[in-house]
A and B are shown apart, each in its own frame.
Chain A
Amino acid sequence: MTVDDSKVTSAARATGAADGARDINVTGLGKRYGAAHALHDVNFTLRDGEFLTLLGPSGSGKTTTLGIIAGFVDPDYGDVQVGARSIIGMPPRRRNLGIVFQSYALFPHLSVAANVEFGLRMRKVPAAERERRGKRMLERVGLADFAQRTPAQLSGGQQQRVALARALVINPTALLLDEPLGALDRRLRQQVEIELKGIQRETGVSVLHVTHDQEEAMIMSDRMAVMNAGRIEQIDTPTNVYKYPSTRFVANFLGEANLLDVNVRENDGARAIVNYADGSSGAVHVSSAHGTGGSGSQGTVCVRPERMHFASDDEVAENAVCGTFVSCLYLGASLRCIVQALGQELIVTCSDHAAFTSPEPGALVRLAWDAADGQLLANES
């Protein structure tokens, strides 16, 4: 026990990484409360050392998923495995998972140091080693000077770091975070996002993070799973989820999206030829790996506002539609324009540069975008 723990962990990680022994595999998870499905066939793997975010609106089942993994909630069906070993039915105290709640849940009557050492005390680690490891963890989160205070004497951000230290000191298989930044104000939040990400990188611990803040998810995650009504709609890197949303819900939830109804004429699974509502034809990327319609079917194409541009009449474009200019908002670094086209209002954002002059309201304009910037989404079931 005198060996430096971080070496032990990294050694364990090195072997773990090879055979996925520290991966957490979630398969076919389902949970009902009465007649309502809180979770419906949730599948994902939290890979060793990965920062995975569950992102979704309120009530989409994020906390329930976390609770099942932590052992606080029993699933109705499905399995959770660490490596190849199922942990369903195992009491929470034997799962070796570090958890941070939005309320931090620090023990109010214990000092900061005693809070951090709590997990070690439960593991019957000798007092001297307990203190040493607790102290080192407090130093790591920059709170060594606060060891003797009680939680009530700390700011929200400091309490959050104590909660993090308390969860990390037990060398958990993974860290489960349920909106740990939810109670912080915006500036502090951004700072803590960076700190948290730094600590995760240093320790190499796997993190399953729950939030409904898309910006937070984009900044911190290696991958993110977008949840809606108890299902995971898409799971991928933040860039891919933003660039290649696979459903209408994902496209709308993350940033702004223009969603266009189309007829699919050809679809080879990577590229599709479509007809827009005004009859014009265009080429788009097939975003979703599954569930897009073949030729003749109805579909939806997503184009991000910043990927559309105003085009001159003679510009050759893979996709181009005509419309009437409605209005334009100046936002400093960018402009947000609204154009009536294809029977709906389209949003176009463009960066503010000298060459751009806003058209008059009511003017006829032509909008264009590349095939790579239009995404054919999965059909809703």
Chain B
Amino acid sequence: MRKPPKPALVARRRRAATTPLVVILAMPALLFLVLPILLVIPMSFTAGHVVEFPPSAWGLTAYRELFADEGWRETIMFSLKVSALAVFLSVLTAGLAAIGLPRLRMRGEGLVAAVILIPLAMPVVTLALGIFQFFNQLQINGTLVGIAIAHSVLGVPYVFLTVRAALSKLDLALVRSAMSLGAGTWSVFRWVYLPAILPALLSGALLVFVVSFDEVVIALFISGPGAITFPVKLFTEVQFNLSPAIMAVSTLLLAAVVLSVVVGILLFGVRRTVYRIALGDGGGAGR
């Protein structure tokens, strides 16, 4: 149900993109952004045990090392579990908050919304420190659940915002029609609210997943033996044990991201995929 961008706007954007000057100006910026990322690829295909560019000899040592090390697989699995739980928690709480808050019709609505959005503005280190102290009391530092809860605190604002945006486009008459036709609270949710916010929930979930899977500061604070997320391991390895295996794992990660973007483009088309990644806007993705 999202309206396509106004034709005039699209046309202007296209014309602008083909202007030679723009291309010339854009290329260095693009290279500057992408090149450092791409560098890890050749560096991962080395035959030696040191990180160098270009590698003095080509080979697959790094990958053999990587797959031999149980630790990498475990942390990736652990991170996936953390992120999945964080997604579940923030979608549930933020989704309910976005639907329920306007219905309370109370004065403090704006204040509550502001509190929900605080993690967006708060320096992550401050947040991490607070969470660390608090979790110490609860004794959930160094647990999967602990890290997931901390990450869902970061994720809640994203889901809250995307769902709120979707709800602002919801015709109140739909809710009223459903009620007049006999729908109770649950049925109104099931038949009106849920279909309207589902795309927003999905893109919100995607954002939370990315935020959580990528998060290192909080995870570093509250990680513990047996509870180390993938980015934390990457971070500590880089600091204390820089090896080509890190380049290999980065390359694989890069491949996974490129693959999912390609799949996204094949499924939804270029524009919508770019919108989703850039804006996290699931608005009403044509449901």
A residues contacting B by CB (< 8 A) are 70-72, 91-95, 97-99, 101-103, 105, 107-110, 118-119, 122-123, 163, 166-167, 170
Contact between A109 and B195, CB atoms less than 8 A apart: yes
For B179, what are the chain A residues with a Cβ–Cβ distance below 8 Å? 71-72, 91-93
Q: Across the interface, do B191 and A72 meet the contact criterion of CB distance under 8 Å?
A: no
The interface residues of chain A lying within 8 Å CB-to-CB of B192 are 107
B287 CB–A CB distance under 8 Å = yes
Q: In the complex, how many residues of chain B place their beta carbon closer than 8 angstroms to a beta carbon of chain A?
A: 18
Q: For the complex, is B178 an interface residue (Cβ under 8 Å from A)?
A: yes
CA–CA, A118 to B174, complex, Å?
12
Q: Are B171 and A103 in contact, CB atoms less than 8 angstroms apart?
A: yes
Q: How far is the CA of A166 from the CA of B178 in the complex (A)?
A: 10
* Pairwise interchain contact A70-B187, C-beta atoms closer than 8 A: no
Query: Which of chain B's residues have a CB closer than 8 A to the CB of A107?
Result: 174, 177-178, 191-192, 195
Q: Does residue B47 face the partner (Cβ distance < 8 Å to A)?
A: no
Cross-interface CB contact of A118 among B176, B181, B184, B287, cutoff 8 Å: B181
A118–B191 CB distance below 8 A: yes
Q: Is A99 touching B180 in the complex (CB atoms < 8 A)?
A: yes
B106 in contact (CB, < 8 A): no
Q: Does B180 contact A122, Cβ atoms closer than 8 Å?
A: no
Asked whether any CB of chain A lies closer than 8 Å to the CB of B128, the reply is no
| Complex-state Cα separation, A97 to B179, whole angstroms | 10
Complex interface: chain A residues within 8 A of B176 (CB): 70, 72, 92, 99, 101, 105
**Contact residues in B for A167 (Cβ distance below 8 Å):** 180-181
Judge whether B178 and A95 touch: CB under 8 Å: no
**Choice from A91, A103, A108, A166 contacting B181 with Cβ under 8 Å:** A166
Check A93–B174 contact: CB distance below 8 A.
Answer: no
Cβ-closest 3 pairs across A and B: A122-B182, A105-B173, A119-B181
Q: Once bound together, how far apart are the Cα atoms of A94 and B184, in whole Å?
A: 9
| Chain A contacts for B195, CB-based, 8 A | 107-109
B278 at the interface (CB under 8 A from A): no
B181-204 contacts to A, CB under 8 A, are: 181-184, 187, 191-192, 195
Residue of A nearest to B287 (CB): A109
Q: Which residue of A lies closest to B195 (CB)?
A: A109
A97 to B187, CA, bound (A): 18
A-B contact pairs, 6 of them (CB 8 A): A71-B180, A93-B182, A95-B180, A103-B173, A122-B182, A167-B181
B24 at the interface (CB under 8 A from A): no
Q: How far is the CB of A83 from chain B (nearest CB, A)?
A: 19
Taking the closest CB of chain B, its distance from the CB of A109, in whole angstroms, is: 4
For window 239-287 of B, CB contacts with A under 8 Å fall at 287
Residue of B with least CB distance to A108: B1
- Give bound CA distance, A105 to B180, whole Å: 12
Q: A103-B173, A109-B287 are in contact. Are A93 and B191 (CB under 8 A)?
A: no
The residue in chain B whose Cβ has the minimal distance to the Cβ of A176 is B180
| B191 closest partner in A (C-beta) | A107
User: Please, which residue of chain B has its CB at the minimum distance from the CB of A152?
Assistant: B1
Tell me the complex Cα distance, A105–B188, Å: 13
Partner of B180, one of A97, A108, A109, A123: A97
Kindly state the separation between the CA atoms of A110 and B195 in the bound complex, as whole angstroms. Answer: 10
Give Cα A34–Cα B1 distance, bound, in whole angstroms. 36
Partner of B178, one of A70, A118, A163: A118
